[in-house]
Amino acid sequence: MYMIQKPTVLLDEVKCRNNIRAMAEKARRNNVIFRPHFKTHQSHEIGSWFRDEGVECITTSSISMAHYFAGDGWTDITVAFPANVLEIDKINELAKSITLNLVVESKDTVIALSKALTEPINLLVKLDIGYHRTGVAPDHVEEIAGIMDEIDRCALTTLRGFLGHAGHSYAAENVDEIARIHVESIDLMNQVKTYFTKRYADLLITVGDTPTCSVMEDFTEVDEIRPGNFVFYDLTQRQIGSCTLEQITIAVACPVVAIHADRNEIIIYGGGVHFSKELLNHPKHGTIFGLVAEDDGERWGALVEDVYLARISQEHGTVHAPSAYLDKIQIGDIVKILPVHSCMTADLHSVYLTTDGTEISRITH
Amino acid sequence: MYMIQKPTVLLDEVKCRNNIRAMAEKARRNNVIFRPHFKTHQSHEIGSWFRDEGVECITTSSISMAHYFAGDGWTDITVAFPANVLEIDKINELAKSITLNLVVESKDTVIALSKALTEPINLLVKLDIGYHRTGVAPDHVEEIAGIMDEIDRCALTTLRGFLGHAGHSYAAENVDEIARIHVESIDLMNQVKTYFTKRYADLLITVGDTPTCSVMEDFTEVDEIRPGNFVFYDLTQRQIGSCTLEQITIAVACPVVAIHADRNEIIIYGGGVHFSKELLNHPKHGTIFGLVAEDDGERWGALVEDVYLARISQEHGTVHAPSAYLDKIQIGDIVKILPVHSCMTADLHSVYLTTDGTEISRITH
């Protein structure tokens, strides 16, 4: 059994391994490569749980994160972020020892890379499949062809295919909307692939947001999936329908430091530096920063009705709770809170504590 | 000169020391104790800049942070957060070597402390002077007296006085509102002090939000001030009138990784894990996560009109910019962005890079 003294991320290993296994099996059923995004957990130890499910290649969102995982024996890493040419020294260093796949969306980036590369790397052209954050519009085929020309011109870069991220699925309101985004975004990628089939016979299509990978069953039209958040899931994923409450694998355990029964509030040690300031518009409670789950000792159980993290400042959290809950709470108790966005919450901690009391380290900043 | 490769907090030491000096002088003019809150910078090195201005006692927001600064020779520390009884072992350890002042707002906390304390500590009773986050309402004098009784009953706790935090000043819309909050909150604290004057002749009144400490000149009615954010300031403080643009001492330097001229956007390497997701409602641009300043080489200059951090995800930032700015920007350039909330932004980094190229470490999590 463990003791909590300050805000701590609790991790349920059993649930987490189940999430990993389910996604690995879905990839196998579809005969697609499973290249999970490791930006959510950022931990060697949790990475090894993916190895246990046969995973051999991974995704990161930065060169630093790729270095961290290369240091644990991962030898095929895609950095799913527009290549940052200022990190060329680290790119070359990494490309010496692993298969490094970078993402580009402009000729300028390819030209800058080609001038300074000393090692071979693979490139994926980022397509904007509806999220409108990064990527080339799929109908800008001449622009795409221009990028391909530059890749071909450079002896050290090899075109691997097209990378898309349907990030707009996170803003979906329900499963039907996720399904529509899934079909549309994969269709857009295949249109581009088809257009260039004569020039390149063997281009890869890789996609991978957690909502579509969780909700949809058919991935036969793509070659690779890269979901990340599903390893932990969170309240946002639950609200849009991409996971159940039982699939959420982390909770932040926070000490109770003050009780204000007159205004139905509990003050916890646990604020923006422990949860992040990511918020969720809850259908009943409005803006929330987390929901309180029942504490069944080592783990956590069902949600406690109407008990939620209503406000946060740097280290304080204000939990709103009905009197029946307040009557049972005392100074020095622990409240277990499910996070709104697990990627952002996990990033604020250097250690996970498993529900059986083992500390698991993650990358530090 | 320095080189930026990934998102980096730049710190202007000259401006920072000026902020520290100005506040130290204001405290001296008012003949009040200056006990700066160190939760904003969380750095031994920057702490030493306060020593250079004669500061001898400090504030932290956690026991961990108090340990960090005690390790650098600070011997009088107030933890301005409701005492977390679960950290009793660390409290006892700390109280062995320094003067430790904790904050309480309930009898239950005092009783829990008294049962487990092995070393003497000072206590301050937290009063709710209008922010309604923590503290006892000033007119609940019997409740306050009850807490005092418990403090007197315990041989190892000494009542030092009353602590207030007018945190609602951060939501002020202008300087007039800050001034009103200042007068009202200090008046509330003095009413309580006066009420208990017969019982305790020598109780301290300590207040200390950055807005009132920055804007107001008269602090003769209090004994101690504890501002923190002023060491760096930020866009929120500027918007409510508690600092000028020139007083903001940190900027996040971020690489440009993509340019989307068609929609007036630049994608930077710099997202929620570098800025936090704290947002500001800007009068012209609506929700923003930062404003772009001119890059004058080592430092930064005036704001660039209409160039702002419009959206952020985990590692991506989307900067909105007019065509005239976009025309001058290239892949691999650096954009310097002033943060919305410096405490939250700084907390996401383990190092500050001064504008003359020196790395300054801070506490790591």
User: What is the C-alpha separation between A326 and A267, in angstroms, rounded?
Assistant: 11
Is A320 in CB contact (< 8 Å) with chain B?
no
Instruction: Output the pTM of the full model.
Output: 0.97
Q: What is the pLDDT of residues B62-114, one digit of tens each?
A: 999 999 999 999 999 999 999 999 999 999 999 999 999 999 999 999 999 99
Query: Tokens 């909150």, residue?
Result: B185
Q: Residue B254: which H helix or E strand, with range?
A: strand B250-260
**pLDDT at position A172:** 87
Q: What gap in Å lies between CA A211 and CA A238, rounded to an integer?
A: 10
One domain for residues B270 and B186: no
Tell me the pairing of strands B99-104 and B76-82.
parallel
- Tell whether B199 and B56 lie within a shared domain: yes
d(CA B35, CA A232): 41
Q: How high is the pLDDT of residue B173? A: 86
Angle (nearest 5°) at CA A301 between A299 and A302: 160
Is it the case that residue B146 has pLDDT exceeding 80?
Answer: yes
- The residue among A164, A197, A227 that closes a domain is A227
| Phi, psi (deg, nearest 5) at residue A335 | -110, 130
Question: Which stretch of DSSP H or E encloses residue B34?
Answer: strand B33-34
Q: Specify the CATH number for the domain of residue A342.
A: 2.40.37.20
Q: What is the least distance, in Å, from the CA of A52 to any CA of chain B?
A: 27
**CB-CB contact of B170 with B131 (8 Å):** no
Provide long-range contacts, Cβ within 8 A and 24+ apart, for B320-324: B320/B264, B320/B265, B320/B285, B321/B264, B321/B265, B321/B266, B321/B292, B322/B264, B323/B261, B323/B264
Confidence of residue B38 (pLDDT cuts 50, 70, 90): very high
DSSP state of A130: S
Angle between helices B88-97 and B63-70 in degrees, nearest 10: 30
Question: Would you state the pLDDT for residue B279?
Answer: 96
Distances (CA, A) of A240 to A126, A132, A169, A288, B152: 26, 20, 9, 15, 54
Strands in A99-104's sheet, in edge-to-edge order, are A33-34, A224-225, A204-207, A157-164, A121-127, A99-104, A76-82, A58-60
Nearest to A232 by CA among A7, A20, A2: A20
Residue A285, Cα to own-chain centre: how many angstroms?
A: 26
- C-alpha A62/C-alpha A37 separation (Å) is 11
Mean pLDDT of B152-173: 93
Q: How far apart (Å, rounded) are the C-alpha atoms in residues A260 and A268?
A: 11
B17: number of Cβ within 10 Å: 17
The answer to whether the CB of A320 falls within 8 A of the CB of A307 is yes
Domain check: are A40 and A189 in the same one? Answer: yes
Whether B270 and B7 have beta carbons less than 8 Å apart is answered as: yes
Q: Does B192 lie in the same domain as B320?
A: no
Nearest Cα residue to B211 out of B181, B170, B180? B170
Q: CB contact, 8 Å: A163 with chain B?
A: no
Q: Is B312 a domain residue?
A: yes
Task: Specify the DSSP element, H or E, that contains A339.
Answer: strand A334-339
Tell me the shortest Cα–Cα distance from A29 to chain B, in angstroms: 30
Given B170, B195, B227, the domain boundary residue is B227
Structure confidence at residue B170 (pLDDT):
85
Please report which confidence band the pLDDT of residue B172 belongs to, taking 50, 70 and 90 as the band edges.
Answer: confident
- Range list of H helices, chain A: 13-30, 44-51, 63-70, 88-97, 107-116, 141-153, 175-195, 210-215, 235-240, 272-275, 323-326, 342-346
Angle at A48 between CA A7 and CA A99, to 5 degrees: 120
Same domain, A47 and A119: yes
From B193, B227, B261, the end of a domain falls on: B227
* Same domain for B254 and B113: no
Does B69 share its domain with B201?
yes
- pLDDT tier for residue B296 given thresholds of 50, 70 and 90: confident
Q: Is residue B21 part of a domain?
A: no
Question: Which residue pairs from A169-175 have beta carbons closer than 8 angstroms and sit at least 24 positions apart in sequence?
Answer: A169/A209, A169/A211, A169/A212, A169/A240, A170/A209, A170/A210, A170/A211, A170/A236, A170/A240, A172/A211, A172/A240, A172/A241, A173/A240, A174/A240, A174/A241, A175/A215, A175/A240, A175/A241, A175/A242
Q: Judging by beta carbons within 10 Å of its beta carbon (0-12, 13-18, 19+), is residue B317 exposed, middle or buried?
A: buried
- Give domain status of residue A232, yes or no: no
Give how far A138 is from chain B: nearest CA, Å. 14
* Same domain flag for B221 and B257: no
Q: What is the mean pLDDT of residues B23-38?
A: 98
Q: How far apart are CA B212 and CA B206, in angstroms?
A: 13
A61 touches chain B (CB under 8 A): yes
Is 80 exceeded by the pLDDT of residue B35? Answer: yes
Residues in chain B: 365
Q: Interface pTM (ipTM) of the complex?
A: 0.96
CA-to-CA distance for B353 and B8, rounded, in angstroms?
7
Note whether B176 and B66 are same-domain residues.
Answer: yes
β-bridge mates for residue A92, sequence order: none
Using the beta-carbon criterion (under 8 Å), do A255 and B84 form an inter-chain contact? yes
Between CA A353 and CA A42 the distance in angstroms is 14
Q: Which of B289, B325, B288 is closest to B304 using CA atoms?
A: B325
**What does the pLDDT average to over B133-142?**
96
Report, in angstroms and rounded to the nearest whole number, the Rg of chain B calculated over CA atoms: 22
Q: How far apart are CA A33 and CA A199, in angstroms?
A: 23
* Angstroms from A309 CA to nearest CA on chain B: 13
Residue A233: inside a domain, yes or no? no
Question: Do B275 and B161 share a structural domain?
Answer: no
Please, which residues 267-306 of chain B have a Cβ atom closer than 8 Å to chain A?
267, 269, 272-273, 276-279
Residue B61 near chain A (CB below 8 Å): yes
Q: Return the amino acid letter for A99.
A: T
Residue partners of B109: CB distance under 8 A and separation at least 6 = A257, A258, A331, B82, B83, B85
Interface test with A, best of B257, B330, B333 (most A CBs within 10 A): B257
Residue B6 included in any domain: no
Q: Which domain holds residue A321?
A: 245-361
CATH number at residue A212: 3.20.20.10
Q: How many domains does chain A have?
A: 2
**Domain assignment present for B5:** no
Q: Does A146 touch chain B (CB under 8 A)?
A: no
Quick one: which of A334, A100, A274, A183 has its CA closest to B276? A274
Domain annotation covers residue B237: no
* Token output for B273: 């894990």
The pair of structure tokens assigned to B6 is 């990934």
Residues 6+ apart with CB under 8 A from A180: none
Q: Which among A2, A170, A269 is the top mutation candidate for probing chain B, defined by the most B β-carbons within 10 Å of its own β-carbon?
A: A269
SS3 A265: strand
Restricting to B residues 82-141, those with a Cβ less than 8 Å away from any Cβ of A are 82-87, 90, 105-106, 108-109, 112, 132-134
Residues B259 and B286 in one domain: yes
pLDDT of residue B169: 87
Same domain, B288 and B170: no
Q: What is the pLDDT along chain A (365 residues), one digit of tens a residue?
A: 799 999 999 999 999 999 999 999 999 999 999 999 999 999 999 999 999 999 999 999 999 999 999 999 999 999 999 999 999 999 999 999 999 999 999 999 999 999 999 999 999 999 999 999 999 999 999 999 999 999 999 999 999 999 999 989 888 888 999 999 999 999 999 999 999 999 999 999 999 899 999 999 999 999 999 999 999 999 999 999 999 999 999 999 999 999 999 999 999 999 999 999 999 999 999 999 999 999 988 999 999 999 999 999 999 999 999 999 999 999 999 999 999 999 999 999 999 999 999 999 999 87
Is B203 inside any structural domain? yes
